[in-house]
Structure 1
Amino acid sequence: MNVAIIPARGGSKRIPRKNIKEFCGKPMIAWSIEAAQKSGVFDRIIVSTDDAEIAEVARQYGAEVPFMRPEELSNDYAGTIPVIRHATDWLISHDCAVDYVCCIYATAPFIRAEDIIQGLGTLQSQQGDYAFTVSRFPYPIQRALKVSDEQRISMFSPEMFHVRHRILKSRGTMPGNFIGGHPQLG
């Protein structure tokens, strides 16, 4: 069984209620739920939340909320992996045979069903441990700058200052759309 787990905590500090804030006509979390549904690769789409209003919105858009996330996994310091592990353990303890778990972030409104299909397909065909989205930096990261406590700017890699752009290797980052893997990993 392939399961999508969408973590959606209710206590965001920087943007309060961000998971259900309206974005282009619907709650933010709806975009992730709909992309998971449209992909057609999941047997279940689960939202892990500690918040009744988020749970209600998630159900309105067709996701399951079979449990409420415990308090110790709902604070500012709780990481994604323990949250996904909790949801996966809950499913397994309720007789669900989980083959692949895909964490899709509630705040990823631009994730496309095609990205999910490709990621899960790559994971399965290459028999990897994980698959995740990667965005290429639009500029050479080797020329990145940093700001000191004294508000001074300097290069992370000063030795790269005189290196031609064409020679610098492309780099990427994890934009935080989704991460897929086997349930026993992590």
Structure 2
Amino acid sequence: MNLAVIPARGGSKRIPHKNIKKFAGKPLIAYSIEAAQQCGLFEHIWVSTDDEQIAEVALRYGAQVPFMRPAELSDDFIGTTPVIRHAIEYCREHFSLPDYCCGIYATAPFLQVEYLQQGFDKLSQTRDKFFAFSCTTFTFPVQRALIQQGSGVTPMYPEFIAKRSQDLAEAYHDAGQFYWGRSEGFLSHKTMFSEDAIPIVLPRYLVQDIDTPEDWQRAELMYQAFIQFKANKVSSSNE
């Protein structure tokens, strides 16, 4: 059995009610629910929330809300893994222990079924890995980062500042979309960003954090461009 868990806390401060705010015409969380439904990989799609409004929207779009998340897992400092672990333990107690669980962020309108499938396939076909998560490359070499110093700047890594971009190792960062894991991996407190995990690399045009109003505006512009790109691609293939 596979379980999808969509964490959706109600206390967003920089973008109030972010998880259910209308994004390109529908609540932001709806995109994550629909991607989980469309991939056909999950027996259960649960939204873990402490907010009645979010629960109502989640149910409207076809997700399940089998519990309201406890207060100790709903403050500003709680991480994603404890929320997923809580859902797995609830599932084990009331149904059965899922073989695999996938944490899907509620703020992932660019989430594509093909990458959810790829993550599951790669993880399930290995025996020595416990996780598979979405990531992408940085647009600029992180080794040549600058930091402010007084009224000027200084290289964060002086030993790399004069090197050519092509001579520096490419760096990756968490894409903030999905986190596949074997239940035993989540429950045994193994680490996601480690040799226990398989990186699923996404193209950069499918990755955008949505944490501030500026992020939101950028994400909507990117989404409109992506939808137009897909429409043009379909049109060209039909000619």
Equivalent residue number for residue 38 of structure 1: 38
Structure with greater contact order relative to length (CA < 8 Å, sep ≥ 6): 1
Amino acid at match of 1:130: F
Structure 1 gaps, min length 5: none
> Relative to 1, partners in 2 of residues 1:106 and 1:151: Cα closer, same or farther, differing over 3 Å?
farther
Q: 1:164 Cα deviation (Å)? A: 1.4
Equivalent residue number for residue 56 of structure 2: 56
> Relative to 1, partners in 2 of residues 1:70 and 1:156: Cα closer, same or farther, differing over 3 Å?
same
- CA distance in structure 1 between the partners assigned to 2:148 and 2:174 by the alignment: 22
Equivalent residue number for residue 215 of structure 2: none
Could you say what secondary structure the match of 1:35 adopts? helix
Cα RMSD of the aligned pairs, angstroms, is: 1.2
Equivalent residue number for residue 222 of structure 2: none
- CA distance in structure 2 between the partners assigned to 1:14 and 1:111 by the alignment: 22
> Relative to 1, partners in 2 of residues 1:15 and 1:151: Cα closer, same or farther, differing over 3 Å?
farther
The answer to whether the Cα contact below 8 Å between 2:32 and 2:109 also exists between their aligned partners in 1 is yes
Could you say what secondary structure the match of 1:5 adopts? strand
- CA distance in structure 2 between the partners assigned to 1:14 and 1:6 by the alignment: 20
Equivalent residue number for residue 22 of structure 1: 22
Equivalent residue number for residue 137 of structure 1: 138
User: Does residue 176 of structure 1 match 2:189?
Assistant: no
Could you say what secondary structure the match of 1:160 adopts? coil
- CA distance in structure 2 between the partners assigned to 1:152 and 1:10 by the alignment: 40
* Identical positions, percent: 51
TM-score w.r.t. structure 2 length? 0.75
The answer to whether the Cα contact below 8 Å between 2:88 and 2:97 also exists between their aligned partners in 1 is no
What do the CA deviations read for 1:141-175 (whole angstroms, capped 9, x no partner)? 11112235x46422211111111111111110002
Question: Which one has the bigger helix percentage?
Answer: 2
> Relative to 1, partners in 2 of residues 1:53 and 1:151: Cα closer, same or farther, differing over 3 Å?
farther
Structure 2 gaps, min length 5: 190-239
What do the CA deviations read for 1:41-71 (whole angstroms, capped 9, x no partner)? 1111000000000001001111000000001
What do the CA deviations read for 1:45-100 (whole angstroms, capped 9, x no partner)? 00000000000100111100000000110111111111111111111000223000
TM-score w.r.t. structure 1 length? 0.95
